[in-house]
Amino acid sequence: MASTDPLLQPFQLKHLTLKNRIMSTAHEPAYSEDGMPKDRYRLYHLKKAKGGIAMTMTAGSAITAEDSPAPFGNLHAYKDEIVPWLKRLADDCHAEGCAVMIQLTHLGRRTNWNKADWLPVLAPSPVREPAHRSFPKQAEDWDLDRIVRGYAESAQRMQAAGLDGIELEAYGHLLDQFWSPATNQRTDEYGGSLDNRLRFTGRVLDAIRKAVGADFIVGIRMVADEDWDKGLSREEGVEIARRLVASGAVDFLNIIRGHIETDAALQRVIPITGMRSAPHLDFAGEVRAATKFPVFHAARIADVATARHAVASGKLDMVGMTRAHIADPHIVRKVAAGLEHEIRPCVGATYCLDRIYEGHEALCIHNPATGREATMPHVITRSSGPRQKIVVVGAGPAGLEAARVSGERGHAVILFEAASQPGGQIRLAARGRRRKELIGIADWRSEQLQRLGVELRFNTFADAADVVSLKPDIAIIATGGLPQSPPLAEGEALTVSSWDILSGDAKIAEEVLLYDDNGGHPGMQAAEMIAESGSALEIVSPERFFAPEMGGLNHVSYAEAFHRAGVRITINSRLAAVHREGNKLAAVIGSDYGARTETRLVDQVVVEHGTLPLDDLYFALKEQSTNRGEVDYPAFIAGRPQQIVRNPDGGFRLFRIGDAVASRNIHAAIYDALRLCKEF
- Minimum distance of ligand FMN from residue 325's CB (angstroms): 8
**Closest distance of CB 255 from ligand FMN, Å:** 10
Q: Is 346 near ligand SF4 (CB under 6 A)?
A: yes
In sequence order, what are the residues at sequence separation of 6 or more whose Cβ sits closer than 8 angstroms to the Cβ of residue 615?
477, 479, 656, 660, 661
Distance CA(558)–CA(538), nearest Å, equals 14
Contact predicate 180/261, CB 8 Å: no
CB atoms within 10 A of CB 459: 10
Instruction: Count the neighbouring beta carbons within 10 Å of the beta carbon of residue 388.
Output: 18
Interface residue with ligand SF4, options 90, 287, 352, 578 (CB under 6 A): 352
Choice between 327 and 589, CB closer to ligand FMN: 327
Residue number, 70 or 587, with CB nearest to ligand FMN: 70
Shortest reach from residue 671's CB to ligand SF4, in Å: 13
Q: How far is the CB of 670 from ligand SF4 (least distance, A)?
A: 11
Choice between 48 and 323, CB closer to ligand FMN:
323
From the list ligand SF4, ligand FMN, none, pick the one residue 155 interacts with, judged by a Cβ distance below 5 to 8 Å according to partner type. Answer: none
What whole-number distance in Å separates Cα of residue 50 and Cα of residue 322? 16
DSSP codes, 41-57 = HHHHHHHHHHTT-SEEE
Phi-psi region at 147: left, alpha or beta (left = phi > 0; alpha = psi -120 to 50): alpha
Three-state DSSP class for residue 355: helix
Residue closer to ligand SF4, measured from CB, 354 or 608: 354
- Distance of closest approach, residue 213 Cβ to ligand FMN, in angstroms: 25
* 15 CB neighbour count, 10 Å cutoff: 9
Contact 578, 494 (CB under 8 A): yes
76 versus 574: smaller Cβ distance to ligand FMN: 76
- Is 126 within 8 Å of 136 (Cβ atoms)? yes
Report the residue number, 335 or 362, with the smaller CB distance to ligand FMN.
Answer: 362
Pick from ligand SF4, ligand FMN, none: which does 299 bind, CB < 5 to 8 A by kind?
Answer: ligand FMN
In the bound state with ligand FMN, the residue whose beta carbon lies nearer, of 360 and 579, is: 360
Q: Which is nearer to ligand FMN, 171 or 655 (CB)?
A: 171
- Inter-CA distances, 363 with 30, 33, 328, Å: 10, 16, 12
Name the binder of 102 from ligand FMN, ligand SF4, none, CB < 5-8 A by kind. none
Q: Which of 150, 348, 520, 613 binds ligand SF4 (CB under 6 A)?
A: 348
Nearest to 110 by CA among 169, 59, 194: 169
H helical segments located in 292-330: 304-312, 322-327
Residues 6 or more apart in contact with residue 201 via CB below 8 angstroms: 170, 175, 178, 179, 244
Residue 422 binding result from ligand SF4, ligand FMN, none, given CB thresholds of 5 to 8 Å by partner type = none
Residue 418 makes CB contacts below 8 A (sequence gap 6+) with 394, 459, 460, 461, 462
Q: Which of the stretches 348-356, 411-419, 534-542, 598-606 binds ligand SF4 when contact is defined by CB under 6 A?
A: 348-356
State the first-to-last Cα distance of the chain, in angstroms, to the nearest integer: 40
**Interaction between residue 365 and ligand SF4 (CB under 6 A):** yes
Nearest CA-CA partner of 244 in 184, 285, 207, 198: 198
Q: Which of 100, 326, 390, 537 binds ligand SF4 (CB under 6 A)?
A: 326
User: Looking at beta carbons only, is 69 or 551 nearer to ligand SF4?
Assistant: 551
| Residue 347 binds which entry of ligand FMN, ligand SF4, none, CB below 5-8 Å type-dependent | ligand SF4
Cα 23 to Cα 30: distance, rounded to the nearest angstrom: 19
* Sole window of 98-106, 349-357, 400-408, 645-653 interacting with ligand SF4 (rule: CB under 6 A): 349-357
327 binds ligand SF4 (CB under 6 A): yes
Can residue 364 be called a binding residue for ligand SF4 (CB under 6 A)?
Answer: yes
Residue 22, C-beta contacts closer than 8 angstroms, at least 6 positions apart: 7, 52, 53, 54, 307, 318, 319, 321, 331, 332
CA distances to 27, 401, 673 from 668, rounded to whole Å, are 23, 11, 9
Phi, psi of 566 (to 5 degrees): 70, 35
Q: Which residues bind ligand FMN (CB under 6 A)?
A: 25-29, 60-61, 103, 169, 221, 270, 298-301, 320-324, 352-353, 356, 362
Contact 35, 235 (CB under 8 A): no
| Residue 349 makes contact with ligand SF4 by CB under 6 A | yes
Question: Which range of residues in 70-78, 207-215, 260-268, 364-372 is near ligand SF4 by CB under 6 A?
Answer: 364-372
Nearest CB to ligand SF4, comparing residues 349 and 605: 349
Q: By beta-carbon distance, which residue lies closest to ligand FMN?
A: 60
8 Å CB contact between 331 and 324: yes
Using the minimum distance from each CB to ligand SF4, give the nearer residue, 275 or 412.
275
Asked if 323 touches ligand SF4 (CB under 6 A), the answer is yes
Residue 321 interacting entry, from ligand SF4, ligand FMN, none, C-beta within 5 to 8 Å by type = ligand FMN
Exactly one of 351, 499, 618, 680 binds ligand SF4 (CB under 6 A); that residue is 351
- Residue 365, binding choice from ligand FMN, ligand SF4, none, Cβ under 5 to 8 Å by partner class: ligand SF4
Closer by beta carbon to ligand SF4, 324 or else 467 = 324
Residue 350 engages ligand SF4 in binding (rule: CB under 6 A): yes
Q: Which residues bind ligand SF4 (CB under 6 A)?
A: 323, 326-327, 346-352, 364-366
